[in-house]
Amino acid sequence: MSCYIKKVSTVSPIGDLGENLNLNTFAANNFNAVEPDYKEVIANANLRRRMNRMLKMGTYAAMKCLADTDVDMMLTATSLGSISDTEKMLDTIYSSGETLGNPTAFIQSTFNTLAGNIAQLKSTHIPNVTFVNRGETVANALGYAQVKLSCDADNILYVSSDEKTELSETVLKKFKLSANGMYGEGSAAMILSSEKTGALAEIVFSKCEIDVMSALKELGIPMEDVEILDYKRWCGEYATALAFGVALAARMLEFGMFEGKTHVAIEHRYGHEISVVVLRKC
């Protein structure tokens, strides 16, 4: 099952990893995503205005990746989806005593709206699947991508996105999901391919309910060949943060930043959930 990362783009607390690696920029902004000028990829002003931040961040990263690439499948992933619109919809329900609706907020609360938006903007009829499996959703989607690339897809767009709101951050803090109490947000998109040419890195492992040491043992990779990436200091904690870690690791491998290492392991602990992705240098 060959699954190569060809390209990445992110909207993150340290910007678009596809453009720059600002690793000296520690998040002084409470791990809020640094949002780009969306006009570049979402030209329609009305659409931009309607879209919440989760959708804009995800659409931006996806469209950057798709700028010069055709794919035959799209996999999206999210934890809370368009949570800001979910809150707006609930607000309307209770403030109106169920007499008024908020169609835009309701529609955008649907978890696969990001996939629908991208399909419309690209006028593409390719199949898509949206994974919504909390802290395991990124590893699920990347594991599924490995399977699809081995049977009936050559190139896949992966994109995940999660936004934070005041309420969602309050709730996540109550659940103590972050070791350091810092909650982040952002999107990460990647072009995944069965073909190696020009690849940044290869995904050789993407599983849940396993820690990094067990994963490396399963793969039979000596520890001295592996860098374990501490990535959350750049993106903060959120359910789909693993995708940021994978995108970051791919770019760092591209730039040869792990001297003497052949692999990078990216572990994601989120509450009781744990998942691991391992990349191999190309």
Partner 1 sequence: MKILCCASSIVSVSGIGVGKCFDDIADADYSAKTLQYTNTAVDVPLREIPFSNEDIIRMLADDYNVELPSRVYTRAALLSMLTVADLLESAPSVDGKKVVVVNATTAGGMDKSEIFYRDFVADGDADIALVAGHEPADSTKHVCDLLKSRGADVVWSTTVSTACSSSAVAVGVGMDMLGNGNVDFAICMGVDPLCKFTINGFNSLGILSKNVCRPFDADRDGLNLGEGAASVMLTKDENIPVLCEVLSCETASDAYHQTATSPDAQGPTLAMKAALKKAGVDADKINYVNAHGTATPNNDESESTAMVNVFGEKVPPFSSTKFWTGHTLGACGVLELALSAEMLKRQQILPTRNFEKVERLTPVCKMEKAELEYIMTNSFGFGGGATSIIIKRV
Q: How far is the CA of 182 from the CAs of 128, 176, 203, in angstroms? A: 32, 10, 28
Query: What is the crossing angle of helices 83-95 and 166-174, to 10°?
Result: 100
Nearer to partner 1, 142 or 200 (CB): 142
Nearer to partner 1, 187 or 240 (CB): 240
CA distance 36 to 7: 18
Q: Which stretch binds partner 1 (CB under 8 A): 16-24, 128-136, 156-164, 261-269?
A: 128-136
Torsion of CA 114, 120, 124, 130, to 10 degrees: 20
171 close to 87: Cβ distance less than 8 angstroms: no
DSSP 39: G
Nearer to partner 1, 18 or 184 (CB): 184
* Contact with partner 1 (CB under 8 A) among 43, 45, 147, 223: 147
The mark string for 187-226 relative to partner 1 (x by CB under 8 A, - otherwise) is ---------------------x------------------
* Contact with partner 1 (CB under 8 A) among 82, 130, 240, 275: 130
CA distance 142 to 147: 9
90 is a contact residue toward partner 1 (CB under 8 A): yes
Residues 161-180 that bind partner 1 (CB under 8 A): 167, 171, 174-175
CB of 106 to partner 1, least distance (A): 3
CB of 14 to partner 1, least distance (A): 26
* Contact with partner 1 (CB under 8 A) among 10, 12, 79, 275: 79
Q: How far is the CA of 242 from the CAs of 3, 139, 186, 188, in angstroms? A: 17, 8, 11, 9
* Contact with partner 1 (CB under 8 A) among 80, 156, 241, 264: 80
CB of 215 to partner 1, least distance (A): 15
CA distance 154 to 149: 6
CA distance 258 to 16: 21
Q: Provide the sign of the torsion angle of the four alpha carbons 51, 157, 280, 144, taken in this order.
A: positive
| Distance, C-alpha 227 to centroid of its chain | 21
126 is a contact residue toward partner 1 (CB under 8 A): yes
* Contact with partner 1 (CB under 8 A) among 70, 101, 181, 213: 101
CA distance 270 to 165: 18
> Residue numbers of the site for partner 1 (CB under 8 A)?
74, 79-81, 86-87, 89-94, 97-103, 106-113, 115-117, 119-120, 122-134, 136-137, 140, 143-144, 147-148, 150-151, 167, 171, 174-175, 208
